[in-house]
Amino acid sequence: MKKILAPSILSADFKILGEQIRETEKGGAQYIHFDIMDGMFVPSISFGMPVLSSIKNLTGQTIDAHLMVTEPVRLMEDFVKCGADILTVHYEACTDLKADIDCIHSLGAKAGVSVKPETPVDVLEPYLDQADMFLVMCVVPGFGGQTFLPGSIEKIRQLRAMLDARGMEKDIEVDGGIHHSNVTQVLDAGANVIVAGSAVYHGSVRDNTERFMEILKDYE
């Protein structure tokens, strides 16, 4: 499967956000991971529509919006209008997840479903056919720079096995605590879309991106 790097701008230097995003594109990253927080589903607040609109046409990268918000259906249309190509919602945040996935598709975007570390991946079973991507959170959502939770590996393996058993080749995204030193573990477990915030944006953005892409290429 295609291996994709999705640098999370949550760890970017916002004074020079545009320049830094361009560095990730030059380094080969295919996605921009855009973390939306509402101060309810997670304790913090990040950024929203105006920031998304202003980066939309900056590069040719896919905008991968991760909605850490309660009842994301309220905001889906706005985020797609502002430029999101993929909307990932949390299983724990939706009252009617099937309807929400349908809504994302009707807006013309790809739909992802995410689970927090304490949520088992079995809950995704009813949505395997319907959603385009599944996001396994490897830290408690809400902040960048946290430590990878080792229990995530088994969840990724289990989810990949669930998809393989049904003959489905769908994307498994992983998010939280991923660095150059542990990315091969999540790739080995079956993840193919790699979110990295601090590991890309702290230090040389171009070098960090290129180092990830070299590792990902070996897994193609």
Determine which helix (DSSP H) or strand (DSSP E) holds 64, and give its type and residue range: strand 62-68
Q: Give the whole-angstrom CA distance, residue 139 versus residue 137.
A: 6
Q: Estimate the share of the chain in helix, then strand, then coil, as percent rounded to the nearest 5.
A: 40, 20, 40
Which residues sit at the interface with Zn ion, rule CB under 5 A? 35, 66, 175
Q: Which of 33, 90, 116, 155 touches ligand DX5 (CB under 6 A)?
A: 33
Whether 100 sits among the annotated catalytic residues: the reply is: no
Q: Is 65 in the site for ligand DX5 (CB under 6 A)?
A: no
Q: Give the whole-angstrom CA distance, residue 12 versus residue 198.
A: 8
Apex 109 CA angle, 105 and 115, nearest 5 = 85
Considering the complex, what minimum distance in angstroms separates the CB of residue 166 from Zn ion? 26
Q: Which of 3, 5, 8, 103 touches ligand DX5 (CB under 6 A)?
A: 8
Considering the complex, what minimum distance in angstroms separates the CB of residue 175 from Zn ion? 4
Q: Give the whole-angstrom CA distance, residue 55 versus residue 7.
A: 14
Given the residues 85, 171, 175, 218, the one annotated as active site: 175
Whether 175 sits among the annotated catalytic residues: the reply is: yes
- Closer Cβ to ligand DX5, 39 or 166, answer by number: 39
Three-class DSSP labels, 144-192: CCCCCCCCHHHHHHHHHHHHHHCCCCCEEEEECCCCCCCHHHHHHHCCC
Given the residues 35, 38, 64, 100, the one annotated as active site: 35
End-to-end C-alpha distance for the chain, whole angstroms: 6
Determine which helix (DSSP H) or strand (DSSP E) holds 213, and give its type and residue range: helix 205-217
- Closer Cβ to ligand DX5, 90 or 160, answer by number: 90
- Closer Cβ to ligand DX5, 11 or 30, answer by number: 11
Q: Is 142 in the site for ligand DX5 (CB under 6 A)?
A: yes
Residue 87's region, left for phi above 0, alpha for psi from -120 to 50, else beta, is beta
Considering the complex, what minimum distance in angstroms separates the CB of residue 175 from ligand DX5? 5
Considering the complex, what minimum distance in angstroms separates the CB of residue 141 from ligand DX5? 4
Q: Which of 196, 209, 212, 216 touches ligand DX5 (CB under 6 A)?
A: 196
Catalytic residue ranges: 35, 175
| Binding region for ligand DX5 (CB under 6 A) | 8, 10-11, 33, 35, 66, 139, 141-146, 175-178, 195-199
